[in-house]
Structure 1
Amino acid sequence: MNEPLTPEQLRILTPLNVLSEQQWRELRSQLVPQPLLAGQLLFRQGDQARLTYYLLAGELQLQDAEGRTQRVSAGSELSCHPLSPAMPRLHEARALSDISVLMIDSAMLDRLLTWRLAYQDLLLAMQQGGADIEWLERLLENPLFTKVPPTNVQNMLGRLQRIEIEAGHQVLTEGEAGDCCFFLESGRAEVIRSAGSDRQVLAELEVGACFGEEALLSDRPRNATVTMVEQGSVLRLDRQDFFALLKAPVVAEVSLGEAARLLTQGAQWLDVRLLEEYEKAHAPQALHMPLQLLRLKARLLDKSRTYLCYCDSGKRSSSAVFLLSQLGYSVYALRGGLDALPAVQRDALLCENGAGYLARSGGRTERSR
């Protein structure tokens, strides 16, 4: 049985290479190479399976609707990117030799990617403000936050109440109603459950751990007691703020037709994908504003202008729109992202490649070199 790819192998694959090791662990079951024999089809033109494919070994051929072909060899620059990523597929992919491929659920990958890039932007902004981000980085590795819209996290941080607690104090008591959850900021804590007259230690919590959320999600009494083993501090989040944290933000969206109308009125495309994705193909005169640097680079934009954000699925652009809207910009996301466009419209939109356009102070746009 094949083993999952190692971090060294993952670091050459775009955009998998920007994910954290915790996120790679979440994808672990999908990171196992799959074999395909020479002559077999990997996918057909028009295929709409929500899978992201990478070629890891061997050679395959991509053929488009006009019969034009392209060979892709493992280890080449092309093989470091997803194969024919547009949906539906613009190519047929057939193995020219025995090959090995990686198949990853596209929706899951996009969710992880959006979260990773958005919280990098948040950490950078907080670090510039003088905040100690080491604890926050550990907090954001908590599985709870893989389900939280990244744009909600900063609002949550302002609602946390810090509480200093002595060793031996019970933070939560089994059987009580749940009206809040906690994050362990410092110190050590044990999770204990009663079993008749015995006490069973279930776990020791690490800094950054969230506890007490199960009672909120299930609307049932606490199922365990949490006791501080040594002096430390916790951050309390009230019930209503916890559910606000999980709620997805609402952003303004436009169709491609509506975007075209806004462009004639002076709107500007913003490409919020990674640099490698942008250089491969981007919209005419689109500014490259990657999501992970957006908070830093937003000051270069012009608040009197309308901006139109796009990415592949729409998730990264939705996060960008929410952030820019909070900063006072007029901004919309392309509804459904590039993947929602018919192949002809997608190709017409992404008609430029290579170095693109940069925003300078005051909103001035320059062609990059």
Structure 2
Amino acid sequence: MNTIEVLSTLQLMERLQPMAALPRHHLAQLAVHCTRQTLGRASAPILAQENSRKLVYLVRGEAKLEFSDGSFRVMVGATSETIHPLGRNGEQLLAFKPITEIEILQLDEELLDIMLTWDQLSDPGKKGIPMGTRPGATDRFSVQQLTQGVLAKLPVAHIGELLQRFERIEVKKGQIIVKQDDPGDYYYLIDSGRCTVARSVPGGVIQLADLNSGDAFGEEALVAEVPRNATVTMKTDGVLLRLSKTDFVALLREPLLQWIDWDHARLRVTEGACWVDVRCPAEFQYDGLPGASNVPLNELRRMLPSLEVSKEYLVYCQTGRRSSAAAFLMSQRGLRAMVLTGGLKGCHQSLPGRVFQ
């Protein structure tokens, strides 16, 4: 959509239910995910089953709705009845057909439900949630953050608690947020601003990445329980949301990490899953699993864009420590990743003499 089309769709969404309950800035983000379509009166009927995962609104014109009990009803766009999606009032809608030229608006139902869930759980005026000075409203997060990666996979039961635990801190340009070799203490989400990630090595400093609003950092040390492996410095003034190690483990790491044993992992590979070895290249060359890809943990952030969202990844290392950190990083980017329980060492110990192939 161009800017004019997005604005027009936004104005329309503000009149439709239940999306009208969302704040305007989130409606603006959702507007780009909507599709609007004009259908002539000679168009074939639209089958409800083919649109079962979408909310469909009759914006303009007249349409005939046909139901599973043989009944039908004529609906007219831009009326009090059509501010609600078609077929969402308990009736078994089979199809609808244009009587005149019509316009419909469609939006993924799960996407809207995720946004409404976060918004309602974070509203300080609902369910008595005391927000205080901590962030909680969904304006702290973008649609992308809430529908992809780590926050999208968070169990619903933990959302309200998580929102209460994030602490909002203002930071300045040049401020060091995370220092290499320090113990892990917080997980960070960038609300606004930019920062750079660098690692000190013999002979100099390597610039690893630049992070922007919506990105996260600090999870490797918390997941793998090791010292920080890089320094993060603010490139601009900004605002960060941080979560303590204790809260991170309880509310994010444990619910989100998925583990798989050797036998089930081998079965998943036959069904198309991919092995990912996150150890050092020398380790991988020595005893990497046949068919596995070597993506060392320290290179993972750089290589994440090359991994396919459509695939399932089975991540392993020697013990499960590095692979759990890798799987969490992958989950943050919306990838499906499972950790081999106990790593290769655990499999060898539980299955002595087993040939890993």
CA contact (8 A) 1:51 1:106 kept: yes
Whether 1:202 and 2:210 are equivalent positions in the alignment is yes
What are the equivalent positions in structure 2 for 1:1-369 lying under 5 Å apart? 3-4=5-6, 5-44=8-47, 49-85=52-88, 89-121=92-124, 125-126=128-129, 131-132=132-133, 135-137=135-137, 140-142=140-142, 143-145=144-146, 147=152, 148-149=154-155, 151-156=157-162, 159=165, 168-173=174-179, 180-183=186-189, 190-193=195-198, 202-203=210-211, 211-212=216-217, 215=220, 225-228=231-234, 236-246=242-252
Between 91-100 and 189-198, the greater mean CA deviation after superposition: 189-198
**Which one-letter code corresponds to 1:141 in the other structure?**
F
Amino acid in the other structure paired with 1:49: S
Compared with structure 1, are the counterparts of its residues 192 and 213 closer, same or farther at alpha carbon in structure 2 (3 Å cutoff)?
A: closer
* Identical aligned residues as a percent: 24
Letter in 2 for 1:156: L
- Judged with a 3 Å threshold, the aligned counterparts in structure 2 of structure 1 residues 221 and 48 are, in CA distance, closer, same or farther, namely farther
How many Å apart are 1:88 and its aligned residue?
8.3
Length, aligned pairs only: 242
> Relative contact order (alpha carbons < 8 A, sep ≥ 6): 1 or 2 greater?
1
Residue 95 to residue 121, structure 1, CA distance change in 2 (3 Å): farther
| 2:88 match: secondary structure | coil
SS where residue 137 of structure 2 aligns?
helix
Cα 1:16–1:213, aligned 2, differ >3 Å: closer, same or farther? farther
Structure 2 residues not aligned, in runs of 5+? 257-357
Distance 1:8 1:164 in 2: 34
Q: Residue deviations 1:72-127, cap 9 Å, x none?
A: 1221111211011268843431111222111222222222222222222567735x
Q: CA deviation at 1:233?
A: 8.3
Residue identity opposite 1:171 in structure 2: I
For normalisation by structure 2, the TM-score amounts to 0.51
Q: 1:243: how far off? A: 4.4
SS of aligned partner of 1:215: helix
Query: How big is the shift at 1:212?
Result: 1.4
1:58 Cα deviation after fit: 1.8
Whole-Å Cα distance in 2 between the matches of residues 71 and 163 of structure 1? 55
SS at 2:128's partner residue?
helix
**Which piece of structure 1 moves more, 139-148 or 155-164?**
155-164
CA offsets per residue over residues 259-308 of structure 1, 9 Å max, x none? xxxxxxxxxxxxxxxxxxxxxxxxxxxxxxxxxxxxxxxxxxxxxxxxxx
With the length of structure 1 as denominator, give the TM-score of the two structures. Answer: 0.50
- Change over 3 Å in CA distance of 1:175–1:80 after alignment to 2: farther
Q: SS state of the match for residue 35, structure 2? A: coil
Matched-pair contact (CA < 8 Å) for 1:165–1:228: yes
Secondary structure at the counterpart of residue 20 of structure 2: helix
1:166–1:40 distance in 2 versus 1, CA, 3 Å: closer
Contact 2:184-2:222 within 8 A present in 1 as well: no
The structural deviation recorded for 1:51 is 1.7
Per-residue displacement from partner, 1:133-157 (whole Å, max 9, x unpaired)? 6x44376425545524554244336
CA distance in 2, matches of 1:105, 1:227: 38
CA offset digits 1:166-207 (Å, max 9, x no partner): 87442124688866313569x9663345798675883565xx
Q: Deviations over 1:317-362 (max 9, x none)?
A: xxxxxxxxxxxxxxxxxxxxxxxxxxxxxxxxxxxxxxxxxxxxxx
Whether the 8 Å contact between 2:170 and 2:239 is mirrored in structure 1 is yes
Output the amino acid matched with 2:217: G
Aligned counterparts of 1:217 and 1:97: Cα–Cα separation in 2: 59
Amino acid in structure 2 at the alignment position of 1:242: F
Q: Counterparts of 1:103 and 1:217 in 2: how far apart (Å)?
A: 41
- The more displaced of 24-33 and 194-203 is 194-203
User: Residue type matched to 2:106 in 1?
Assistant: M
Measured in 2, the distance between the counterparts of 1:78 and 1:48 equals: 20
Preserved contact between residue 55 and residue 109 of structure 2 (Cα < 8 Å): yes
Q: Which runs of 5+ in 1 are unaligned?
A: 250-369
**Number of the residue aligned with 1:288:** none
